[in-house]
Structure 1
Amino acid sequence: MDSFFNIVMPLLIAFLIWGGYALVRRTRERRAAWESGLTATARVVRAWATTQMVNNVARRVQWHEYDYTTGDGVAVRFKESGGPRDREAGEEVLVHYAPADPEKATASEPQPGKDMAGTVFG
């Protein structure tokens, strides 16, 4: 039993550290996109939903795939989760992007307080 505990606990801790790192990384990417001030009109290429089971409760996650062209003329396609459910393929939306990483763009409006609360409280 001790060996099981000695294997599972470090794996669990590593998973939690990785999850926290991924959350903070995405928050920083979104903040960089918003703070750059660069925007472009994007087209929704595809919209779909996935379902995750958490404690026997279904959780729906909305996904969108966007296409846009930067001010430099570079074509970019990216996927983002958590957008509005009523956004459909073919719609045009405003995206925010950083010139260093245009593929890390976001179609969500700036909400730094809500973003930080999500980072802190999950």
Structure 2
Amino acid sequence: MLESLDCLHWTWGCCPNAHKGQYTQGNHGYPTVILKALVSYEMWIWHAFFGSASSLNDINDLNISPLLDDMYNGTAPDSSFQVAGTLYRNGYYLVDGMYLECACFVKSLSFPNDRNRLKFKRAQERARNDVE
């Protein structure tokens, strides 16, 4: 695993009065910006990206963030690993259910139907607590 990835609303306490309406959403009564962060299990923040809360969410902020550019253009560092005889070239990020289907994103299982899948779901959610 490379890191856990998530977006959150960061309170903008010193927002100028002229911009408060632009950065305040209905579900928040105060100005916020979106912070997308990649956090490792050692609590290191490896990537942070700020954007306007009115236009960004977990899905569309990846379109303007440089996070996955290296992977898409083939210049990402080699992070090959093998599991059960299958070779994987790229690392992966633990994400919540909002993210698109992508080979580098591992989402939690919605309805684990056996003991091993439930164990995997719990382990993944514990690891994602780093970014939460």
TM category (shorter chain) comes to under 0.3
TM-score (norm 2): 0.22
Would you tell me which structure has more strand in proportion to its own residues?
Answer: 1
Task: Give the helix-richer structure, 1 or 2.
Answer: 1
TM-score calculated relative to the size of structure 1: 0.23
